[in-house]
Amino acid sequence: MVKEYSRTQRVSEQIKRELAQIIHREVKDPRIGMVTLSDVEVTTDLSYAKVYFTTLNIDSDLEKDPSKLLNKISPMLRSLLGKKIRLRVTPELKFIYDNSLTEGMRISNLVSKVIKKDNNLK
């Protein structure tokens, strides 16, 4: 039996695809750098969307608050997104920095150190 996806899931996947292309092609600000969208959550009425992202700009101003710049240009991104997708209302975009990648790497390094220390004790 094939599990069907709800409309909000389909819309969130389409927003994720289109927004990734818009950020990659249209945004010329070098402070943004390499942004990868990890997830998009859309409300059931499709009026708001939380966009989770990661970035590789570790040494820039974005490290302090990476979502600040993207939230600042979100009206422009929303306008460009509205031209790409066909919805009655284009959702308001709220960018949230997803630190799960960096946390995963940090935990992996801690585990590796503990294993190495444990092997040295034997």
Question: Domains (ranges, CATH) in the chain?
Answer: 7-121 (3.30.300.20)
Looking at residues 51-60, what average pLDDT do you find? 74
Task: Report yes or no: 78 and 93 within 8 Å, Cβ to Cβ.
Answer: yes
Which residues, at least 6 apart from 112, have a Cβ–Cβ distance to it below 8 Å? none
Task: Report yes or no: 52 and 37 within 8 Å, Cβ to Cβ.
Answer: yes
pLDDT in tens, 67-104: 888 899 999 999 999 999 988 889 999 999 988 877 88
Q: What is the pLDDT of residue 93?
A: 94
Q: What is the value of pTM for the model shown?
A: 0.77
